[in-house]
């Protein structure tokens, strides 16, 4: 009996190895990989996947296959990313057990669904954001109100030694909370919101560092083994808590079919074709998660970059004071008259480069296709490496330097189109960020309000630490700064 089991085991292993190398041969070249561990032993070390990918690009060029430990085709040059993601062939997502755990129904939500369900929910979310907002300026008004509240709140703090993290976090989280559930939290009474945010932040960091998680993605059954099941249980606990917040808020929203919807939950009940409550929860959860850590983290980087580049800050402030003045809250109509502000925001997003290679955002080919002359079979994962592209594209001269002037043409007022189109923090193509319009409004109104009201400075005798905390999102290290009222 034992001998039979052993033979069966050997057959299974032999078949897996054969399958691994046969699949490997069907994909673009890349470093030698071994089954189960892929390239994790030598080339790739979480959470520094971006470093490994950069090194491999130098060796194999802009399109190669890497095993994380499952095969992923990495693309890092702008034209190939754009060509691939503008079409329909790579609009699928990876299906894995972690994502299934965080979802309320199969193929639900926007970020990790694909096919017809994805198209329908993405279209609904974007049109609801538009209906509440950008056209009628209602969303912009919510952003402006939240910015004013943030400035008032900061004004009550001790400005000589402070950390703006929570002020920025509440500013951003309140906007998406109001869009989804119809209310904002007071700045000084928002523990519930903050517990959610801390849970999300910890989950991102723990998952990014985990060497076990990628193996669970590939062989989901190992999560039932002793020890592995303990770590898996911890992840699940964190997700269950976060999911609990979204469910509680969505259930509390009152809906009257005879009234005009005032938040996403009501709009969903009234107008979405798929009426399942689980679908509603999946969409709320995706918008809530995607809509806050990203914008908050970018604005936190903005504060550190402003503190460490006083000349940029002064130039930006002088543009703000001449176009908007000292008292009025910025609106998006001002942006067209503020080329330097646009250059600064592009450069903040390019330099902060917060979205690192992340399995949750890998694309998947839904048909056999071709990329840069390579035949790519259906169901291949693709990483459009925006992160590396924004750091290494030859058009970004001296890429580590924070230098907004790189975007300004010789006439001093026009933005250089070829640089702006290569600045792709929101991705590109069919799966480009669904909240980009809102995020751009938050970044503009948020940054302008802070610089209009406060001079951002390092603490006396201290320098600003611009080395990130490496995870799927590159977070700034927590550090205090000094503010002076303008
Ligand atoms: C500075 C802020 C933000 C950044 C840098 C950012 C970046 C991204 C990136 C890189 C993607 C993946 C693109 C791809 O898969 O090719 C994405 C997807 C997404 N983002 Fe954002 N995002 C931001 C803010 C927001 C906000 C405020 C919302 C919600 C209101 C949002 C909702 C989404 C959704 C729903 C998706 C999934 C789109 C899809 O798969 O079809 N994001 N974002």
Sole residue written with tokens 């402003």: 306
Integer Cα distance of 248 and 195 in angstroms: 14
Q: Which one of 197, 264, 294, 295 would you pick to mutate in the ligand 1 pocket, going by the greatest count of ligand atoms within 8 A of its CB?
A: 294
Q: Distance from the CA of 428 to the center of ligand 1, in angstroms? A: 10
Which residue CA neighbors atom 35 of ligand 1 most closely? 434
Residues 410-456: tens digit of each pLDDT: 999 999 999 999 999 999 999 999 999 999 999 999 999 999 999 99
Q: Which atom of ligand 1 is nearest to the CA of 179?
A: 30
At 191 the three-state DSSP class reads: helix
Average pLDDT of the chain to the nearest whole number: 92
User: Is 190 labelled as part of a ligand binding site?
Assistant: no
Q: What percent of the chain clears pLDDT 70, i.e. is strictly above it?
A: 99
Q: What is the pLDDT of residues 272-319, one digit of tens each?
A: 999 999 999 999 999 998 988 899 999 999 999 999 999 999 999 999
Q: Is the CB of 435 under 6 A from ligand 1?
A: yes
CATH node for 2-485: 1.10.630.10
Q: What is the pLDDT of residue 136?
A: 61
Cβ–ligand 1 contact at 423 (below 6 Å):
no
Q: Alpha-carbon distance 348 to 389, whole Å? A: 15
Record the pTM.
0.94
357 CA from centroid of ligand 1 (Å): 14
Ranges of H-type helices in 106-227: 115-129, 138-155, 165-181, 191-209, 212-218
Which of these, 304, 307, 302, 308, lies nearest to 341 by C-alpha position? 302
Nearest Cα neighbor of 404 from 451, 356, 436, 442 is: 451
Q: What is the pLDDT of residues 9-59, one digit of tens each?
A: 788 778 878 888 888 888 999 999 988 888 987 888 888 899 999 999 999
Regarding the beta carbon of 434 and ligand 1, being less than 6 Å apart is answered yes
pLDDT of residue 420: 97
| Geometric angle at alpha carbon 221, from 228 and 379, rounded to 5° | 120
| pLDDT recorded at residue 124 | 96
Distance, CA 290 to ligand 1 centroid (Å)? Answer: 6
pLDDT the model gives residue 188: 84
Q: What's the rounded mean pLDDT across residues 102-116?
A: 91
Q: 184 CB under 6 A from ligand 1? A: no
Summarize pLDDT for 200-231 with one digit per residue, the tens.
888 888 887 887 888 887 788 888 888 888 88
In the chain, domain spans: 2-485
- Which residue, 371, 287, 356, is CA-closest to 113? 287
* pLDDT tens for each residue of 330-373: 999 999 999 999 999 999 999 999 999 988 899 999 999 999 99
Ligand 1 in contact with 403 (CB < 6 A)? no
Give Cα separations from 258 to 30, 86, 162, 179, 437 (angstroms). Answer: 59, 40, 48, 20, 29
């Amino acid at each position: 009996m034992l001998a039979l089991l052993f033979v069966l085991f050997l057959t299974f292993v032999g078949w897996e190895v054969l399958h691994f190398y046969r699949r490997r041969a069907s994909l673009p070249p890349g470093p030698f990989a071994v089954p189960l561990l892929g390239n994790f032993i030598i080339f790739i070390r979480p959470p520094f996947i971006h470093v490994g990918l950069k090194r491999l690009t130098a060796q194999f060029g802009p399109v190669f296959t890497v095993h994380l430990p499952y095969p992923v085709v990495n693309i890092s040059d702008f034209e190939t990313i754009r060509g691939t993601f503008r079409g329909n062939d790579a609009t699928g997502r990876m299906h894995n057990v972690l994502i299934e755990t965080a979802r309320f129904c199969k193929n639900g939500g926007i970020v990790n669904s694909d096919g017809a369900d994805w198209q329908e929910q993405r279209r609904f979310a974007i049109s609801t954001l538009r209906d509440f907002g950008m056209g009628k300026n209602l969303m912009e008004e919510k952003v402006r109100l939240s910015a004013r509240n943030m400035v008032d709140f900061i004004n009550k703090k001790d400005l000589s030694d402070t950390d703006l993290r929570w002020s920025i976090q509440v500013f951003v989280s309140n906007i998406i909370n109001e869009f989804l559930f119809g209310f904002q939290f007071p700045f000084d009474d928002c523990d519930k919101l903050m517990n959610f945010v801390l849970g999300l932040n910890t989950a991102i960091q723990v998952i990014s560092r985990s060497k076990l998680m990628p193996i669970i993605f590939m062989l989901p059954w190992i999560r039932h083994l002793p020890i592995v099941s303990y770590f898996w249980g911890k992840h699940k606990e964190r997700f269950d808590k976060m999911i609990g917040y979204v469910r509680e808020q969505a259930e509390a929203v009152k809906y009257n079919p005879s009234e005009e919807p005032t938040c996403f939950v009501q709009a969903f009940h009234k107008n979405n074709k798929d009426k399942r409550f689980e679908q509603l929860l999946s969409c709320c959860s995706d918008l809530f998660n995607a809509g806050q850590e990203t914008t908050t983290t970018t604005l936190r980087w903005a504060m550190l970059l402003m503190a460490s580049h006083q000349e940029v800050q002064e130039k930006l402030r002088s543009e703000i004071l001449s176009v908007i003045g000292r008292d009025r809250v910025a609106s998006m109509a001002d942006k067209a008259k503020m080329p330097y502000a646009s250059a600064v925001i592009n450069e903040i997003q390019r330099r902060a480069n917060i979205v690192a290679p992340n399995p949750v955002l890998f694309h998947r080919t839904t048909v056999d296709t071709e990329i840069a002359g390579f035949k790519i079979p259906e169901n291949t994962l693709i990483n459009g490496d925006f992160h590396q592209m924004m750091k290494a594209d030859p058009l970004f001269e001296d890429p580590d330097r924070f230098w907004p002037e790189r975007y300004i043409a010789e006439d001093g007022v026009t933005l250089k189109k070829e640089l702006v189109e290569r600045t792709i923090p929101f991705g590109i193509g069919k799966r480009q960020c669904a909240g980009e319009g809102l995020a751009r409004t938050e970044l503009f109104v948020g940054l302008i309000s802070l610089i209009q009201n406060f001079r951002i400075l390092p603490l006396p005798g201290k320098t600003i630490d611009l080395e990130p905390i490496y995870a799927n999102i590159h977070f700034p290290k927590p550090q205090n700064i000094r503010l002076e009222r303008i």
